[in-house]
Amino acid sequence: MAEPIPIIGGTGALGWGLAMRLAAADQPVVIGSRSAERAGEAAGRLREAVDGADVEGLVNEEAAKRGPIVFLTVPFRAQSENLNNLREVLEPGQILVDCTVPTAAAVSGKATRTLGVWQGSAAQQAQEMVPDGVTVIATLHSISAATLGDPDAKLDEDVLICGDRKADKTRVARIIELIPGLRAVNAGPLEAARIAEQLTSLLISINTRYKAHAGIRITGLGEGDHWG
């Protein structure tokens, strides 16, 4: 039986889309929120959207205890608060998949811009904040939350995964590739997340100009399993 996949921030656009796609792939998911009521409402909506969905809605601290691989899908402005609240519940051996992007929202027609992070990236900041023994993996920076959350949208793109241990990245890649149309690509160490995170602002700019939901595709890798 598959282990539950907790999604902290599962009531937001990216978290909801990820939960919906994984539930549709017959994976048990746990939607986390600061509000138990909002988490429960989101779980109910997911059951309506995906027939037979195995989903729970819990407050973040309870959700994070439910599975070995925890996705953090909150806005960057909420990353530190959420990680501070999870310090007492995350345990050695767990993997935290950080999907946050340090960006400032567009104001008065100006483009979304990437914010500087002293540690180098949001993912590296997360690694400093989690308890010892918890590994941070960074991914899902280049996929449109709107596309992910549209059950009628066909996905056909690559997802970069950054982290310091291939074994941990492989476990996350297996989850990502449960979603039809997504291919996980090993993008190197966690330090490379500072580059991957900046792709979000670039893609937002492109999608705004072309009125699209474009993603990325890495060419020349060939077919087959690249994770071993």
Q: Are 148 and 12 in contact (CB under 8 A)?
A: no
pTM of the model: 0.93
Tens digit of each residue's pLDDT (9 = 90 or more) over 133-177 = 999 999 999 999 999 999 999 999 999 999 999 999 999 999 999
- Alpha carbon distance 23, 49 (integer Å): 10
Q: Give dist(CA 159, CA 187) in Å, integer.
A: 9
* pLDDT value, residue 115: 55
pLDDT in tens, 191-225: 999 999 989 888 988 988 999 988 999 999 987 77
Q: What is the mean pLDDT of the chain?
A: 91
Rounded Cα–Cα distance for residues 34 and 46 (Å): 18
Task: Please determine, looking at this structure, whether the domain spanning 5-210 carries the CATH number 2.40.40.20.
Answer: no
